[in-house]
Amino acid sequence: MTDHRNALMRTVRLPALVLAGAFALTACVSPVAGPSTGLYARPIGSAPVTANPTPYSAALNCIGQYALANGLRTPRIAVGRIIDYTGKNDAEGGRRITQGASLMAISAFAKTGARMVERFDTSVAELELRYANNRLIGDEGDEEFRRILAGSVPGSDFYLVGGITEMNYNIRSVGADGFFGDVDPDNAKGTSGAKLYVMNVGMDLRLVDTRTLEVVDVVSYQKQIVGREISLGVFSFWDDVVIDVGIGERAQEPIQLAVRSIVERAVIEIMANLYGVSGPSVCTEAMGSDPIGSGRTFGATGGFVPVHGTEDNNAATRAEPNRWNERRDEDVRASNLRGRQF
Residues 119 and 123: their CA atoms lie apart, in Å, by 10
Q: Is residue 111 part of a domain?
A: yes
Q: Is residue 215 part of a domain?
A: yes
pLDDT, residue 228, reads 95
β-bridge partners, 243: 236
Q: How many distinct structural domains can be found in the chain?
A: 1
Provide the total of helices (H) and of strands (E) in the chain, helices listed first: 8, 8
Residue at 308 is within a domain? yes
Q: State yes or no: pLDDT of 45 exceeds 70.
A: yes
Query: Hey, how many other C-beta atoms are within 10 angstroms of the C-beta on 299?
Result: 25
Q: At what angle do helices 57-69 and 101-111 cross, to 10 degrees?
A: 40
Q: Report yes or no on 79 lying in a domain.
A: yes
Q: Is residue 124 part of a domain?
A: no
Note if the pTM is more than 0.85: no
Distance set, CA 188 to CA 31, 53, 55, 230 (Å)? 45, 47, 46, 20
CATH number, domain of 96, equals: 3.40.50.10610
Strand pairing report for 298-299 and 302-303: antiparallel
Q: Say if residue 291's pLDDT is above 60.
A: no
Which H, E and C letters describe 177-226, residue by residue? EEEECCCCCCCCEEEEEEEEEEEEEEEEEEEEECCCCCEEEEEEEEEEEE
Distances from the Cα of 21 to the Cα of 16, 29, 40, 41, 45, angstroms? 9, 14, 20, 18, 22
The sign of the CA dihedral 98, 102, 105, 107 is negative
Handedness of CA 19, 24, 29, 35 (dihedral sign): positive
State how far the Cα of 303 lies from the Cα of 320, in Å rounded to an integer: 15
Query: Quick one: CA torsion of 105, 107, 112, 116, rounded to 10 degrees?
Result: 80
Banded model confidence at residue 337, pLDDT cuts 50, 70, 90 = low
**Residue 294: helix, strand or coil by DSSP?**
coil
pLDDT band at 37 (very low <50, low <70, confident <90, very high): confident
Q: Per residue in 120-156, is it b (16+ CB within 10 Å) or e — as a string?
A: eeeeeeeeeeeebeeeeeeeeeeeeebeeeeeeeeeb
What's the pLDDT tens digit per position in 129-173? 999 888 888 877 667 888 888 888 999 999 999 999 999 998 999
Q: Say how many residues make up the chain.
A: 342
The dihedral sign for the CA sequence 175, 180, 183, 185: negative
* Integer Cα distance of 320 and 328 in angstroms: 11
Using an 8 Å Cβ cutoff, are 116 and 155 in contact?
Answer: no
Q: Would 24 be classed as within a structural domain? A: no
State the DSSP code for 89: B
Distances (CA, A) of 139 to 132, 136, 340: 10, 10, 21
Domain assignment present for residue 225? The answer is yes
> What is the domain extent for residue 255?
51-117+154-333
pLDDT of amino acid 8: 46
Listed range (183-187, 190-194, 201-205, 206-210) with the worst mean pLDDT:
183-187
Contact 246, 233 (CB under 8 A): yes
**302 found inside a domain:** yes
User: What does residue 326 show for φ and ψ, rounded to 5 degrees?
Assistant: -65, -20
More confident residue, 290 or 94: 94
Q: Are 52 and 269 in contact (CB under 8 A)?
A: no
